[in-house]
Amino acid sequence: MHNIVERFEKIKLNIKKVNSANNVKIVAVSKTFSLAHIKPLIEHGHTHYGENKVQEAEVKWSEIKKNKKDLKIHMVGGLQSNKAKKAAEIFDYIHSLDSQKLADILSNAQENLNKSIKYFIQVNIGKEIQKSGIPYDEVDAFYTYCTKEKKMDIIGLMTIPPNDNNSKKYFQSLSELNSSLDLKELSMGMSADYLDALQYKATYLRIGSLIFGNRS
C-alpha cells in the first residue's frame, strides 16, 4: 500500500476512536502538491480535496473531474472577490465565505452557472486583526442574509483558531454557535488539532501534511 494511503487510513482509524458515527469527511488538503503526488489517494477512492488558490485548482482538477464525476473540490483558503466568479466554476464547496460582497458575487455566479455550491461561513473566532472571517456576534445576521436574501446553501461554519495552544476553547465556542443556527456540518480541525476538533462535533476536517507529507 502506498504510504499516502497508509497515512490516510491511519487518520480514519483515529477518527473512529473519537467518533464512530461515520459522519466525518476528510478534506485532503492537496494545495501545492502535484496531481501525480495525489493520485494514489484518488485511486484509493477518496473524493474530497482542498485547494487554496483558484488558478492552481483549475489547472489541477479541471480535466480529471470530467472523468471522475464524484470528485469534490473544496476552496479552503481566503477567496478574493475578483477571483470569486472563477471559483464558482471550479469548486463544489467553499469554506471561506467571509463578506457580504463575496456572498453577492458568488450567489450571482452560481445562478448564472445553474450550479449549487455548498458553503461554510468563515468565523473569526479569536478576533484576530490579521485573519478574515465574520465576527462572532455578526454571524447570525450574515447567515440570514446569505440564506434568505441570497438563497445560498450554507451547510455550516468554519474557523481557523488562533495559534495559542488553546484551540479547544475556540472549537467549543464555534460548535455552540453552529448548533444555535441548527447547522449540520462544521469545518474545523487540521493536521495538528483534528482530534480536538472532533470532540466538538467537527464534521469536515481539513488535513494536508499528515496525509501528503510536508510541503517543500
50 or 129: which carries more pLDDT confidence?
50
pLDDT computed for residue 47 by the predictor: 98
Helix 54-67 × helix 35-43 angle, to 10°: 40
Number of neighbouring beta carbons within 10 Å of residue 29:
26
Condensed to tens digits (0 to 9), the pLDDT of residues 32-84 reads 999 999 999 999 999 999 999 999 999 999 999 999 999 999 999 999 999 99
Provide the CATH number for the domain around residue 103: 3.20.20.10
Residues with Cβ < 8 Å from 42, sequence gap 6 or more?
64, 68, 71
Condensed to tens digits (0 to 9), the pLDDT of residues 36-47 reads 999 999 999 999
Domain count for the chain: 1
Residue 148: domain span: 3-212
Q: Where does the pLDDT of residue 216 fall: very low under 50, low under 70, confident under 90, or very high at 90 and above?
A: low
Q: Where does the pLDDT of residue 100 fall: very low under 50, low under 70, confident under 90, or very high at 90 and above?
A: very high
DSSP string, 2-46: -HHHHHHHHHHHHHHHH--SS--EEEEE-TTS-HHHHHHHHHTT-
What is this structure's pTM? 0.96
Number of neighbouring beta carbons within 10 Å of residue 86:
15
pLDDT computed for residue 20 by the predictor: 85
Condensed to tens digits (0 to 9), the pLDDT of residues 137-172 reads 999 999 999 999 999 999 999 999 998 878 999 999
Q: Are 199 and 168 within 8 A, CB to CB? A: yes
The continuous run of DSSP H or E covering 130 comes out as none
Q: Kindly report the average pLDDT of the chain as a whole number.
A: 95
